[in-house]
A and B are shown apart, each in its own frame.
Chain A
Amino acid sequence: MRRRSRARRGFTLAETLVCAALLILVSVAGVTVTAAVLNAKSAMTEAANSQTLISTALDALANELRFGQELRFDPDTGELTALTSAVFGAGTCFSVEEGIVTARAAGAEGETVRRYELLPRPLYAGLKVTELNVTADGDGFVTIAVAVAGRRDVYSRAVTVRPLNRG
């Protein structure tokens, strides 16, 4: 009889407060952990995508420079102005247009006759290339530097290439 009356009595204020506090603690911990996990996942995905984009861009540009012919550089800055590419043809120059690495092949008069995107669009995955520098040093080596900006961070990488057809 006494047990039934206790069971029907409901919860005391202290029990309810403790329960509410525990629920809040568990909820806050759950939300915090889930938010941290989602944040980390997003950061890792961006870093991995940027790494793939930079590596692919560096490899593609390195091949162009390694096997390209008639490489021409600005005598003052050392920047690549044009080369003859096996893929894109004579008078090819590389630049960044709206975050996309672009190859432009020029005609005899210097006018652009063809425009290509060096890398497939899906590779960018929301990232933008912000910097592309192709610079020769005095020893004939060429350094390619690429920077990519995501929502969280800017990623950059550089590699030095020895052009096989220096002339």
Chain B
Amino acid sequence: MKRNTLRRRACAGETLGEVLAALLLAALSALTLAGTVLPAGRIDLSVREADESFYKSVSALERWEGTGTAGSLSVTAVRADGTGFSAEIPVLVYEEGGMIAYQKAGEGTP
């Protein structure tokens, strides 16, 4: 009797529920695949924008564009024998895109 039931079930094919579940799994797999690529594309785009912004900032700093704010740099040099000196150097500070450049105040070159 049990053998007979098994044979009948094997001949019956898949039920609608099984087919729908298989389709759902296939759709989920495709969505997962696409879901891994979309964030990667977004990251790639943001990195490209950051790279472009970085070179723009570097170019602006190299040119000392904008108005530099007055500041000073403390420089301390210590020799091996313990002697040394320290100095305060007046500078103009330029900031762009989270980066900083200095120009020695009163001079055209750093």
Contacts and interface: CB of A to CB of B under 8 A. Distances in A.
Interface of A: 3-4, 7-8, 11, 22, 26, 29-30, 33-34, 36-37, 40-41, 44, 47-48, 51, 55, 58, 139, 141, 143, 157-162, 164
A22 B23 contact: yes
A22 B51 CA distance: 46
Contact of A58 (B8, B33, B55, B109): B55
A44 to B, nearest CB: 5
Contacts of B105: none
Interface of B: 8, 11-13, 19, 23, 26-27, 30, 33-34, 37, 40-41, 44, 47-48, 51-52, 55, 58-59, 62-63, 109
6 contacts: A30-B30, A37-B33, A40-B40, A47-B44, A160-B62, A162-B63
Nearest to B60: A160
Given A30-B30, A51-B47, A160-B59, 20 more contacts: A7-B8, A22-B23, A26-B23, A29-B27, A30-B26, A33-B33, A33-B34, A36-B34, A44-B40, A44-B41, A51-B48, A55-B51, A141-B62, A141-B63, A157-B51, A158-B59, A159-B62, A160-B62, A161-B62, A162-B62
B37 A41 contact: yes
Interface of A is mostly: helix
B26 A26 contact: yes
Nearest to A26: B26
Contacts of B41: 40, 44
Interface core residue of B27, B41, B47, B59 (most chain A CB under 10 Å): B59
Given A44-B40, A44-B41, A157 B8 contact: no
A70 B33 CA distance: 56
Nearest to B52: A157
B63 A37 contact: no
| 10 closest Cβ pairs, A-B complex | A160-B59, A33-B30, A7-B11, A162-B62, A159-B55, A44-B44, A37-B37, A40-B37, A160-B62, A7-B12
Contacts of A143: 59
B30 A158 contact: no
A105 to B, nearest CB: 26
A34 B12 contact: no
A124 B4 CA distance: 67
Contacts of A158: 55, 59
A157 B33 contact: no
Contacts of A33: 30, 33-34
A137 B33 CA distance: 50
